[in-house]
Structure 1
Amino acid sequence: MPPIALTVLLLLCAYLLGSVSGSLLLGRLRGVDIRRHGSGNAGGTNALRTLGWRFALGVVAIDLGKGALAAWLALRFAPLGQAFDVTAHGYAAAACAVVGHVWPLWHGFRGGKGAATAVGGLLMLWPWSIGVLLPVWMLVLVATGYVGLSTVLAALALPVLAWGTDAEPARLWFSMFAALFIAFTHRANLQRLRQGTESRFERARLLHRLHRGWSR
């Protein structure tokens, strides 16, 4: 197979993998379309709020796994000796899987927001970055209770990390793509934050609860 054809095939497969939505797949097994419940988003947060942690855990496992699998397949089968190297194939495949998650072919192009799938790709391509992004996500969450804001700020930390570590071009481009794309898919959350109508995950606001306890 010509190298360009193999590249296109790998990226197409990554998109199709990304189109397998964990929440919609598991929801069909239970006779539920999660897009008709809660926020209407086919992602892990809405799955947790509407159908419980066991369902949400399965959703997140699938969404992480497809991002990791898309990146692994690209790394394993990418054509060698090309200007678009093996690592670039991996990051491009991860990006295609994220796009597939947000606009899934199998589910009427109405999917989730892509964060878990992006993390799955990072687990395969840049695993130690999760050790930076996860604390950012958790710190914002326990301080504010806003899952969407936590996810956006963690994503925005990715290109800062890539730039600060003098990352290779493919990693830097993926980092910028992920940050901007996650901010785009969470634009409704950011709008609700400005309007003061965004839902909080109150049980996660540990710093607020500690502050209230100390002030009594």
Structure 2
Amino acid sequence: MWVNFAVLAFVSYLAGSIPFGFLIGKIVKGVDLRKLGSGNIGATNAGRVLGKKWGLICLGLDALKGLLPVALFPRLLISEGNPWFAHAVVLSGVCTIVGHMFPCWLGFRGGKGVATSLGVLLILSPWGLLVAAALFFGSMICWRIVSLSSILAAVGFSLFEFIRLRPNPFSEATWSQGVFALMVPLLIIIQHRSNIRRLLAGEEPRFTLKSSAETAAPPSQL
């Protein structure tokens, strides 16, 4: 069984590490997103550099690579009757997000994990996703700062999950969900550390989209 879990973690990581933003930039415009705009391969930078359409496509693909591995891989490798199956689903989700953040193909420098987390949460916690989405879009309406909105969404999701899993989020049945609710938001916040420095300095730009490939001041990323 443990071999199956190891394979599950590995293939989930590989799926998450597919650098769609980087590939779209190369195929569509012949550019390296790591050298333009924020230097990030996520959907926000893709939208800024390549245009709104390609940013949305990148967002969809990054979310899809979060959803499909979690929906399919555990069922292919672990029996649904296995008492550890629910933990296997969480493991797949974590590894997929980590793959997006630290892709082996790009020197372990990837995106911020928000879009891929969206796809994962569609399977793991739809209600938690609704809470995170409400916070994200509410913040965007007020301030139009993607990094701030992403951080608030991550924190809100974590708080919601710990409330949902009370009184013991690390019980035998729910410990993996508790770890996910703590680990993934923390990773997302860490990935936004440069954005946090700019937020504190009042230098974080508000979200805009560009229709052509052009260098912008360092924006926040998904």
**Same fold? TM cut 0.5:** yes
Larger Rg: 1
- What's the offset of the Cα at 1:104? 0.7
For structure 1, the residue ranges without an aligned partner over 5 or more in a row are: 204-216
Percent of pairs identical after alignment? 35
Flag as ranges the 4+ runs of structure 1 deviating above 3 A. 80-83
Query: Aligned letter for 2:100?
Result: H
* Contact 2:74 2:92 survives alignment (8 Å): no
Summarize deviations over 1:4-47 as a string: whole Å, max 9, x none. Answer: 11110011001101110110121221212111111111111111
TM-score norm. by structure 2 comes to 0.84
Name the structure 2 match of 1:174. 180
Residue 93 of structure 1 is matched in structure 2 by 92
Please state which structure has a larger fraction of its residues in helix: 1
Letter in 2 for 1:21: P
CA deviations on 1:47-104 (whole Å, 9 max, x unpaired) are 1111111111111111101111121133313434656x11111111111111111111
2:137 is equivalent to residue 131 of structure 1: no
Distance 2:179 2:23 in 1: 31
| Residue in 1 that maps onto 2:51 | 52
Q: Report the equivalent of 2:198.
A: 192
Find out whether 1:74 has 2:79 as its counterpart.
Answer: no
Q: Relative contact order (C-alpha < 8 Å, sep 6+): which is higher?
A: 2
Do the aligned partners of 2:59 and 2:115 also contact (CA within 8 Å) in 1?
yes
What is the aligned residue count? 200
Question: C-alpha deviations, 1:98-138, integer Å up to 9, x for none?
Answer: 11111111222221111111111111222232221111001
TM-score (norm 1): 0.87
Distance 2:33 2:207 in 1: 19
Q: Which moved more, 1:22-31 or 1:69-78?
A: 69-78
- CA contact 1:148–1:186 (8 Å) conserved in 2: yes
